[in-house]
Structure 1
Amino acid sequence: METVSEQSVNHDERRQAAKGAGDEMTAAGKAEGKAARKAARKTGGSGKSGAKDTRIEVLVRRYLFSRGLRFRKNDRRYPGHPDVVLPKWHTIVFINGCFWHAHQGCSKYSIPKSNVEFWTAKLTRNHDRDIAQHAALESAGWHVIVVWECELAKPVREARLERLYTEITVPGSMASNELADLANAAGSVNAGGSIV
């Protein structure tokens, strides 16, 4: 059995060992953390994966609530723990930061210049996971809507929020890009009713 003085020596040794392990953080690890914090500041998030109550999430939820819609937030019963679940409308809304969810073609999404391999793998995983989760929800009969951070910039915010409300509340309404995809897939119909 250890005496009190032996216990304090062992405690001091463990503390020094733990401190030494923390000092060995690599330059790559520091760069990763710095890049993550920078991206989080841009998106209004905390920099943690799965962050809740980001600035853009709060903005969208406040708007929906002000329009009389009631919802659950971050519901763990569904894949991806959706930001907004509207059971009455059988609709789920994801509010995504462009960087963290790899919004293709967006100016807010780019791979950091340091530790490119790590960031490419991480952001690709996030993007692929989102696709799988949305497919699972849609196959379960949910209408899935994604609102991107770039769509909530001040110049276009009101129009996007208004369109979101319409997508939720008007039966059969879809985003304009979904309608365009359907029109292209079905072909166009001429005045006589035949497909061109």
Structure 2
Amino acid sequence: MPDRLTVEQRSAHMARIRRANTRPEKAVRSLLHRIGYRFRIQLKGVPGRPDVAFPGRRKAIFVHGCFWHGHEDCSAWRLPRTRPDFWQNKIDTNRTRDTRLLEAAVARGWDCLVIWECQVKNATDLEQRLIDFLGPTCLNSHPP
């Protein structure tokens, strides 16, 4: 099936996709803030510049887009039918880089969590997963 956009239109569309501050990242940060966590974003000095970092806890969260990072267990990810060789190489390169950066962060003493874009949709499950990963906050560690 041919692409319904011209090469120029597709290029312009892809150029508008952000590297940081994406909708899933903002949703994760909003949820973290609402439940009482304070954090740094795009922390330099940590391999991969995590989307959300907790320097005092040495914990980092990476929010991956299902398409760009090739989330195979997700219905939102599929290889495009146009230029499949290009896209397979692009996704494979992203996966390899993700693995390398996660391993480098762990080697430097960081505990890392990957959150997939599709997992952001279920706020209740996501909140519990974040609390399990990060531990108590100042807000939820003391009884009222």
TM-score range, shorter chain: 0.7 to 0.9
SS at match of 2:24: helix
Matched, 1:85 2:53: yes
Structure 2 counterpart of 1:47: 17
**Which residue of the other structure, out of 104, 122, 129, is the alignment partner of 1:163?**
129
Q: Secondary structure at the match of 2:56?
A: helix
> Which protein shows a greater Rg?
1
Partner of residue 141, structure 2? none
2-structure distance, mates of 1:35, 1:99: 17
Output the aligned Cα RMSD.
2.2
Misfit runs of 4+, over 4 Å = none
In the other structure, the counterpart of 1:62 is: 30
Tell me: higher relative CO, structure 1 or 2? Use CA pairs within 8 A at least 6 residues apart: 2
Aligned length: 131
Instruction: Give the one of 48, 64, 69 matched to 1:101.
Output: 69
| Mapped partners of 1:89, 1:36: distance in 2 | 40
Counterpart residue number, 2:94: 126
What is the TM-score normalised by the length of structure 2? 0.81
Matched, 1:34 2:4: no
Matched to 1:168, the amino acid is L
Q: How far does the alpha carbon of each residue in 1:46-87 deviate from its partner, in whole angstroms, 9 at most, with x for none?
A: 424xx1111111111111112221111011222211100101
Q: Whose helix fraction is larger, Structure 1's or Structure 2's?
A: 1
Tell me: CA distance 1:79–1:134, structure 2 relative to 1, closer, same or farther (3 Å): same
User: For the Cα contact (< 8 Å) 1:35–1:112, is it kept in 2?
Assistant: no
Contact 1:84–1:93 (CA<8 Å) still a contact in 2? Answer: yes
Structure 2: segments with no counterpart, 5+ residues:
137-144
SS of 1:99's equivalent? coil
- Residue type at the aligned position of 1:34: R
Is contact 1:89–1:169 with CA below 8 Å preserved after alignment? no
Name the residue aligned to 1:140.
Answer: 108
| Cα offset, 1:35, TM superposition | 8.2
What percentage of residue pairs aligned between the two structures are identical? 32
**TM-score, scaled relative to structure 1:** 0.61
